[in-house]
C-alpha cells in the first residue's frame, strides 16, 4: 500500500505515541473530516464504542434502530453532503444486516466506509459466537474490503478505504477489525491520508482524439440527444454540464439518479428516461442520429430491449468507469474520464447551436403526454386523491428547493416525474437495487448531510413498514424530517403489473397497515391523516411549518397506475400512454 507523505490538515509529523487500535481508528476519521457516524454497538465492536465515549465532542454518533437503517442513513448523508458516509456495526448479524445497503450503495455508486467489529483473531474460523465471514459475504457488494487483525494495520487500511470510496466511480468499502486489533496498543506515528495506490487508477487517461471525434459527430448531427445520469452529480460537474447543454443547444433527458443536475424547468431539460419516464425522451431515443450519454450506464430500465435500442444512432459515451463503456450499448466514440474534465474539453470544440425544430418535436410529445396522462394525474376529477396531485401541491410549498427522498414503488416514479428540483443533490432514491425501506433512514441521513435544507421523505405504505423502527432515531436525535406516506392500501407497483400482465390476479399485494399517525405519536412525532382533497393544501402547509419532524398520511386512490410505461421486453419506442 502506498500513501501520501502529507496529511489533509498538514500538521507537523507526530512523535510516536501509544494508542489502541480503536483510538487510532477514531483519530483517522477526524483527520478525514468525518463529523457524523451512523451505527449500532455490539460485543465485537465494543472497544471502538468505548473509545468513542472520549471522542463525542468531535464525532457525532447517531444511534439507529437497525443496521440496515444505519447504512441507508449513511447513503442519504453521502448523497446530500457529497462526503463519505461512515457506518459502524458489530460482527455476525450486525455485519450481515449491512449487506442490502452495501449492494444498494455499490450499484448506485455511493461512497461509504463501513467499519465492522469481528471476533478475536485466534477465534476466526471456529464458528465463535457472532462470527461470520463478512469479507467473503460482502466481496460482491463492495468496491473493496479488508480484514484487520493487527492494530498496526489500522491507519493505512482506513486511509486506503477513504481513498477508494471517494475517488473514481465512488462506492462502498468495508473494513472488518478483529477485537484484539481494537484493544491492542501500538506505536502510533500519526495518520497519513492516501492519495495513490499503485494497482488502482481511479480516473482513466483522457484521450483528446476521442474528444475531437465526439465533437465532430455532435457538430454534424441533425437530431442529437443528450442523456445524463448521476455521474454528472458525482463528478460535481453540474456547471460544466450546463455549459455544454446550452452551447450545443441539444435536448437533454435524465435517469432518476441524475435528476437535479440542471433544474427541472430548464428549457433544454426534456424530462425523465426509462420505464416510467416521459413520452418524448423514450420515443425519440429511437429517432435521434447522435446519442450522447454522460455519466450513466445504460441500465435496462432506461434502455428496454437492447436489440431495439437506438440502433439508428451514433453513440458517444462519457464515463469515468471504463467497464461501463460498451457493456450494454456499443459506443461509436468512447470518452473515458471524469466528466468534470472531459465536458469542458468537449464544450470547447462543439458549435453554438439551437436545434429549434428538434427541440420543438420533444415539446410536441410533452403536450401529447400532458393531454393523455399528466393533466388527469395532476388535476383529477375523481373523488379520491392521486399521488401526482400531492406532489404538485408540495412543489408550491418547496419552490423546488427541498431534498426529496423516495422509497421504491409507484410513489417513487410519481415523485421523480413530478417533483420540481432546482438544486443538485435533491433527488435521493434507491435506483439500481430498488430497495423498499430505503427512504425513512435515508432521509434521516440526508438531513444530517444537508441541515440547512428541508428534507421530505415520500414513502408508500408498504415500504414504510419495512424500516419504520427508525422513527426511534428521529425521536432520540430530534432530527427534522418531513414524512409523507402515500397510502393506497396496496403494494402498488406489483399490483399494477398484476393488473396489466397477470389478468388482475392480485396475489398477496393487498396490505394492511397500522394507524401510522398513532405509531408516529408513540415516538413523539406529530402527524395527521387526510382523505379529502380539500384538506391537502392546509395539511401540507402544517407539515412544512411544524417545528420538528411530522408525518402526513395521505389516502390516495387504490388502483391508479403510473403511466407512461415501457412494458418489460419492449422497445422504449413502444412506451404506453395508457
Q: What is the CATH number of the domain that holds 477?
A: 3.40.50.970
| Domain membership flag for residue 6 | no
Check whether residue 387 and residue 357 sit in a common domain: no
| Domain membership flag for residue 200 | no
pLDDT of residue 578: 87
| Domain membership flag for residue 378 | no
| Domain membership flag for residue 337 | yes
pLDDT of residue 568: 86
Specify burial of residue 352 (Cβ count, 10 A radius: 0-12, 13-18, 19+): exposed
The rounded distance, in Å, linking the Cα atoms of 5 and 13 is 10
Exactly one of 23, 32, 38, 67 is catalytic; which is it? 67
| Domain membership flag for residue 374 | no
Can you give the CATH number for the domain in which 296 is found?
3.40.50.1220
269 DSSP β-pair partners: 252
Q: Is the pLDDT of residue 3 over 80?
A: no
| 129 annotated active-site | yes
Phi, psi of 174 (to 5 degrees): -125, 130
Check whether residue 301 and residue 166 sit in a common domain: no
The rounded distance, in Å, linking the Cα atoms of 147 and 514 is 42
Check whether residue 319 and residue 266 sit in a common domain: yes
Handedness of CA 74, 77, 78, 79 (dihedral sign): positive
User: Which band of pLDDT confidence, cut at 50, 70 and 90, is reported for residue 14?
Assistant: low
pLDDT tens for 373-392 read 999 999 999 899 999 999 99
| 493 annotated active-site | yes
Q: Per-residue pLDDT averaged across 135-151, rounded?
A: 98
Check whether residue 330 and residue 407 sit in a common domain: no
Check whether residue 167 and residue 51 sit in a common domain: yes
| Domain membership flag for residue 270 | yes
Q: Is the pLDDT of residue 7 over 50?
A: no
Check whether residue 244 and residue 277 sit in a common domain: yes
Q: Which domain holds residue 509?
A: 383-555
pLDDT tens for 79-115 read 999 999 999 999 999 999 999 999 999 999 999 999 9
Check whether residue 357 and residue 393 sit in a common domain: no
Query: Which secondary structure element, helix H or strand E, spans residue 528, and what is its range?
Result: strand 526-530
Check whether residue 116 and residue 149 sit in a common domain: yes
| Domain membership flag for residue 306 | yes
Nearest to 509 by CA among 517, 521, 522, 499: 499
SS3 35: coil
pLDDT tens for 212-270 read 999 999 999 999 999 999 999 999 999 999 999 999 999 999 999 999 999 999 999 99
Exactly one of 179, 314, 482, 528 is catalytic; which is it? 179
pLDDT of residue 442: 98
Tally of domains in the chain:
3
Give the 3-state DSSP-derived string for 47-79, with helices as H, strands as E and coil as C: HHHHHHCCCCCCCEEEECCCHHHHHHHHHHHHH
Total-model pTM: 0.95
Check whether residue 262 and residue 230 sit in a common domain: yes
Exactly one of 345, 387, 493, 543 is catalytic; which is it? 493
Check whether residue 94 and residue 161 sit in a common domain: yes
Q: Where are any strands of DSSP class E within 8-152?
A: 17-20, 36-39, 60-63, 85-89, 112-118, 144-148
Check whether residue 31 and residue 134 sit in a common domain: yes
| Domain membership flag for residue 567 | no
Residue entry with cell 437530431: 223
Check whether residue 60 and residue 122 sit in a common domain: yes
Amino acid at each position: 500500500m502506498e500513501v501520501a507523505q502529507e496529511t489533509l490538515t498538514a500538521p507537523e509529523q507526530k512523535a510516536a505515541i501509544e494508542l489502541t487500535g480503536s483510538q487510532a481508528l477514531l483519530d483517522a476519521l477526524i483527520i478525514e473530516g468525518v463529523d457524523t457516524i451512523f451505527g449500532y454497538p455490539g460485543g465485537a465492536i465494543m472497544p471502538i464504542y468505548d473509545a468513542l465515549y472520549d471522542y463525542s465532542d468531535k464525532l457525532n454518533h447517531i444511534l439507529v434502530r437497525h443496521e440496515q437503517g444505519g447504512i441507508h442513513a449513511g447513503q442519504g448523508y453521502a448523497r446530500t453532503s457529497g462526503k463519505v458516509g461512515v457506518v459502524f456495526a458489530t460482527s455476525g448479524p450486525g455485519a450481515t444486516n449491512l449487506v442490502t445497503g452495501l449492494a444498494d450503495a455499490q450499484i448506485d455508486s455511493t461512497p461509504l466506509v463501513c467499519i465492522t467489529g469481528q471476533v478475536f483473531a485466534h477465534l476466526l474460523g471456529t464458528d465463535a459466537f457472532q462470527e461470520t465471514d463478512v469479507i467473503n459475504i460482502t466481496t460482491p457488494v463492495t468496491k473493496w474490503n479488508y480484514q484487520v487483525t493487527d492494530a498496526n494495520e489500522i491507519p493505512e487500511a482506513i486511509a486506503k478505504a477513504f481513498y477508494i470510496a471517494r475517488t473514481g466511480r465512488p462506492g462502498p468499502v468495508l473494513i472488518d477489525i478483529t477485537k484484539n486489533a481494537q484493544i491492542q496498543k501500538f506505536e502510533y506515528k500519526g495518520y497519513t491520508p492516501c492519495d495513490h495506490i499503485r494497482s488502482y487508477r481511479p480516473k482513466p487517461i483522457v484521450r483528446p482524439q476521442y474528444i475531437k471525434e465526439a465533437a465532430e459527430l455532435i457538430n454534424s448531427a441533425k437530431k442529437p440527444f443528450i442523456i445524463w445520469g448521476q455521474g454528472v452529480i458525482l463528478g460535481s460537474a453540474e456547471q460544466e454540464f450546463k455549459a455544454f447543454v446550452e452551447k450545443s443547444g441539444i435536448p437533454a433527458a435524465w435517469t432518476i439518479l441524475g435528476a437535479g443536475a440542471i433544474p427541472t424547468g430548464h428549457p433544454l431539460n426534456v424530462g425523465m428516461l426509462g420505464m416510467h419516464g416521459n413520452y418524448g425522451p423514450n420515443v425519440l431515443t429511437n429517432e435521434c442520429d447522435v446519442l450522447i450519454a454522460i455519466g450513466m450506464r445504460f441500465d435496462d430500465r432506461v434502455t428496454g430491449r437492447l436489440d431495439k435500442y437506438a440502433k439508428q444512432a451514433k453513440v458517444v459515451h462519457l464515463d469515468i468507469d471504463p467497464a461501463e463503456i460498451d457493456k450494454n450499448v456499443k459506443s461509436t466514440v468512447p470518452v473515458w474520464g471524469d466528466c468534470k474534465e472531459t465536458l469542458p474539453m468537449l464544450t470547447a470544440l462543439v458549435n453554438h447551436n439551437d436545434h429549434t425544430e428538434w427541440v420543438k418535436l420533444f415539446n410536441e410529445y410533452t403536450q401529447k403526454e400532458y393531454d393523455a396522462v399528466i393533466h388527469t394525474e395532476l388535476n383529477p376529477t375523481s373523488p379520491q386523491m392521486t399521488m401526482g396531485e400531492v406532489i404538485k401541491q408540495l412543489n408550491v410549498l418547496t419552490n423546488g428547493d427541498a431534498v426529496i427522498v423516495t422509497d421504491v414503488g409507484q410513489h417513487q416514479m410519481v415523485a421523480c416525474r413530478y417533483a420540481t428540483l432546482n438544486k443538485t443533490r435533491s433527488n435521493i432514491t434507491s435506483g439500481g437495487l430498488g430497495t423498499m425501506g430505503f427512504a425513512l433512514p435515508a432521509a434521516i441521513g440526508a438531513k444530517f448531510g444537508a441541515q440547512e435544507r428541508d428534507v421530505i421523505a415520500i414513502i408508500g405504505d408498504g415500504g414504510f413498514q419495512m424500516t419504520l423502527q427508525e422513527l426511534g432515531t428521529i425521536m432520540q436525535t430530534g432530527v427534522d424530517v418531513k414524512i409523507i406516506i402515500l397510502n393506497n392500501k396496496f403494494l402498488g407497483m406489483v399490483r399494477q403489473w398484476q393488473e396489466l400482465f397477470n389478468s388482475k390476479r392480485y396475489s398477496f399485494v393487498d396490505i394492511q397497515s397500522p394507524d401510522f399517525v398513532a405509531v408516529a405519536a408513540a415516538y413523539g412525532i406529530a402527524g395527521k391523516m387526510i382523505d379529502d382533497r380539500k384538506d391537502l393544501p392546509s395539511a401540507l402547509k402544517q407539515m412544512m411549518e411544524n417545528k420538528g419532524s411530522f408525518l402526513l398520511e395521505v389516502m390516495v386512490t387504490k388502483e391508479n397506475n403510473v403511466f407512461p410505461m415501457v412494458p418489460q421486453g419492449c422497445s422504449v419506442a413502444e412506451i404506453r400512454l395508457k
